[in-house]
Chains A and B, each alone.
Chain A
């Protein structure tokens, strides 16, 4: 990719990201009922990110090495394993399955 094009990509994404992060912060203090609702954001978005990364473009589960990798990470998380252990375990499971089964 040519330099000026890459610069346009970076600056375009950066300026929009800045505006989005700033919008909420500069709004006047909102009623407690509104801010309380945003507590549902993190679990909803994290679950959505997992769902999107494990499914194909048609919204149906895409069976590749990421599925067992995430299941293994979820089991470790359920046993209160540290975050980085879950992350590395997920990567290792995926890498091993790829190496062994040539997926």
Chain B
């Protein structure tokens, strides 16, 4: 853990991602309200869950007419990868088990990716995860709130291209990682596993499969 990395430097590096998370949050708020969730529950979900893809999956199930249980299942499956990221980040977090389990709640794809980039291979930078995670948490809630409130005014999220903002953002996050050791084969293997599983498994399982393949191909 590079404990001396200045907070200012971490925040500056995270600023463009924070802007993107704000946009993601706003688009989630718009879509969740469009799926007929009460505005307060949309904001509460971002406060308590703090996981864009899981929240999107859950809302997607509801919007498609699925049950609450199916929505929870789909969202939780998408968060399965946090078990593995939790294992990766745990040695870099301060305190005992209770404090670390609380601090680990700040891990999302973006904060984990930045901490992995700031750390050494196999040893993400804990301070980067905490500072970035806290920033993104605030921004995610702010974005969600504004999206949920302004959603009905903005119009059709699809017409605004907000659905394409997500895969575009994932590509932008992925690209700089591909220089890492074995990263290209992990990326190809993960995508292939997800596509192979997607036709006959519920949402979340393809991502869990990609996680397994990524761990398998990492060495």
Residues of B in contact, count (CB < 8 Å): 108
Interface string of B27-54 (1 = CB under 8 A from A): 0000000011110010011001111011
Q: What separation, in Å, do the CA atoms of A9 and B189 have in the docked complex?
A: 33
Closest to B156 in A: A98
Question: Could you tell me the distance in whole angstroms from the C-beta of A8 to the nearest C-beta in chain B?
Answer: 6
Q: Which residues of A57-103 are within 8 A (CB) of B? A: 57-59, 65-66, 69-70, 72-74, 76-78, 81-84, 86-96, 98-99
Size class of A's contact patch? 35 or more
CB of B93 within 8 A of CB of A25, answer yes
CB of B165 within 8 A of CB of A88, answer yes
CB of B194 within 8 A of CB of A9, answer no
Q: What separation, in Å, do the CA atoms of A8 and B53 have in the docked complex?
A: 19
Interface string of B69-81 (1 = CB under 8 A from A): 1011001100111
Question: Could you tell me the distance in whole angstroms from the C-beta of A74 to the nearest C-beta in chain B?
Answer: 5
CB of B214 within 8 A of CB of A41, answer yes
Q: What separation, in Å, do the CA atoms of A37 and B98 have in the docked complex?
A: 25
Q: What separation, in Å, do the CA atoms of A22 and B98 have in the docked complex?
A: 9
Other-chain contact of B54, A13, A35, A84 (Cβ < 8 Å):
A13
CB of A22 within 8 A of CB of B86, answer yes
Q: What separation, in Å, do the CA atoms of A82 and B91 have in the docked complex?
A: 30
The answer to whether A48 and B168 touch (CB under 8 A), given A1-B38, A9-B58, A42-B113, is no
Q: What separation, in Å, do the CA atoms of A66 and B168 have in the docked complex?
A: 8
CB of B71 within 8 A of CB of A86, answer no
Q: What separation, in Å, do the CA atoms of A93 and B192 have in the docked complex?
A: 26
Q: Which residues of A1-42 are within 8 A (CB) of B? A: 1, 3, 5-14, 16-18, 20-27, 29-30, 32-42
Q: Which residues of A contact B171 (CB under 8 A)?
A: 46, 50, 70, 73-74, 77, 86, 90
Q: What separation, in Å, do the CA atoms of A25 and B85 have in the docked complex?
A: 9
Q: Known pairs A22-B101, A55-B198, A90-B161; list 4 more (Cβ under 8 Å).
A: A26-B97, A47-B174, A66-B167, A84-B17
10 contacts between A and B (CB under 8 A): A3-B41, A9-B58, A14-B48, A21-B105, A24-B84, A24-B89, A39-B218, A46-B173, A46-B187, A77-B174
Closest 10 A/B residue pairs (Cβ)? A24-B86, A90-B168, A44-B214, A44-B190, A40-B218, A95-B161, A48-B210, A94-B164, A94-B161, A48-B194
